[in-house]
Amino acid sequence: MDRERDTRVGNKYIILLACAVFFASCKDDAKQSDLEEQDLAVIEMPEENFEFGFNLDDFIVKRDTIKSGDTFGKILDRNHVTYPEIYNIVEKAKDSFNVRSLRPGKPYTLLCAKDSLETPKCFVYQPNVEEYIVVNFQDSIHAYTSRKPIKYVEKTATGIITNNISQTLEEQGLSQRLAYKMADEIYAWTIDFRRLQKGDRFKVIYTDKYIDDTIYAGVQDVKAAYFEHNSEPFYAFEFVSDTVNGIKDYFNDEAKNLRRAFLKAPVQFSRISSRYNLKRRIAVYGFKLRPHKGTDFAAPIGTPIMATANGTVTKSEKRGGNGNYVKIRHNATYETQYLHMKSRNVKPGQFVKQGDVIGWVGMTGNTGGPHVCYRFWKNGKQVDPFKQKLPEAKGISDSLKIEYLEFISPIKKKLDAIDFLEDVFEDDKLDQPTIKQNTNAISFNN
């Protein structure tokens, strides 16, 4: 009996000893795990600071803008690059970068070595917010043009008109580009935005553009819109109807084109300072008959001048009283001409689309103030464009109509599913604001 008791007692001690060892082991493992977690918690990898394809932490970064009188050579010279070196860089990079293209006010960046002289190794010039030109002379000398990453964010907005569409958007901090898109591009020929009614409402699916994820670059395009004016619905869907020239138009839910072949004016936000008038008499010329066969649109110098319709440039030159001017043939019937430009942006033989910038308002030729004289030909004769029954823009071909209706079907469902503000806020029993905005999706495009 004593031997059995001793055996039982011994077994208990063995079991207790094993448990103690096990729990001590677990405790040590837990301590080790805690230490590992602590080690992991304190090890933080620094974020890499990349821009223009370089890790900026590897350089001393100097940013500035081109000043009046600055040249590529002067910039490098005052940053301790010798003239023989500058000449060598210019010669080897000239096929990819014209050093004379630098413009005052444009930003540039010097990536410099971390030495006592802070010697430049790369020159980066930004002609616009998207593009940048790199002249790299770290080892071999080479130059190239690249673009910053672009992000497109699809959004929706709805609004109720209380005064005008511009004010409705402005009060909510939304881009005025949306107002321009709807008033001058999408619904210019179907809705008179000067006579909107209080209570008119709209829904829109559009895309905002961002550069480097953070720099807002405005509204890229409007994918679809619905405008209810005087209780009448107007749908609009963006669609590439001319696949040869890549021309996009807006069509309604029955595949009818919403615009006319010609814009109402070649410049935005302007006023007519002189109309087409074959019986015009001017006091300074002794009230002699001096017909005016154009329509003058007054606008500040530098205002972009747009082609009012698709066509081919037949003339782009400076001559006599016309000053700098451009002439465009649109088809066998219609031609347009744009006079007194500050400078021209197109060449003869170039195909332009409606809305393309063909030049800028100036005062060249015979002119008493900054404006564009817009001349309109029909069958070789100058006429008043405001008295013409202008044709509708090219419609969707029968072969594309089925494709179009299939294309807009899911977009229309999405547009219809967007609640108007009064529907949303009536349910919530809240005061009704004038506009609502949502971000729906994000896509990337470099």
d(CA 167, CA 177): 12
pLDDT band for position 446 (50/70/90)?
very low
For residue 183, what pLDDT is reported? 79
> What is the percent of the chain with per-residue pLDDT over 90, rounded to a whole number?
43
Domain with CATH 3.10.450.350 in the chain: 50-147, 151-259+394-445
**Residue 253, both tokens:** 């839910």
The predicted-structure confidence for 357-371, as pLDDT tens digits, reads as follows 999 999 999 888 899
Give 419's DSSP letter.
Answer: P
d(CA 265, CA 273): 13
For residue 2, what pLDDT is reported? 47
Class of domain 151-259+394-445: alpha beta
For residue 171, what pLDDT is reported? 67
Domain with CATH 2.70.70.10 in the chain: 271-387
Give 267's DSSP letter.
Answer: S
Contact 227, 191 (CB under 8 A): yes
The single residue listed with the structure tokens 């890790």 is: 55
pLDDT of 392 strictly over 50: yes
At 4, which helix (H) or strand (E)? helix 2-42
Task: Look up the CATH number of domain 50-147.
Answer: 3.10.450.350
pLDDT band for position 45 (50/70/90)?
low
Tell me which residue of 383, 182, 361, 344 sits closest to 270, measured CA to CA.
361
DSSP codes, 57-115: GGSEEEEEEPPTT--HHHHHHTTT--HHHHHHHHHHHTTT--GGG--TT-EEEEEE-SS
pTM: 0.59
Tell me which residue of 286, 432, 265 sits closest to 361, measured CA to CA.
265
More confident residue, 420 or 22: 420
The predicted-structure confidence for 119-177, as pLDDT tens digits, reads as follows 999 999 999 888 999 999 988 899 999 988 888 999 988 888 877 777 767 666 666 77
Task: Look up the CATH number of domain 271-387.
Answer: 2.70.70.10
More confident residue, 141 or 271: 141
pLDDT of 49 strictly over 60: yes
**Residue 421, both tokens:** 């503000």
The predicted-structure confidence for 69-120, as pLDDT tens digits, reads as follows 999 999 999 999 999 999 999 999 989 999 899 999 999 999 999 988 899 9
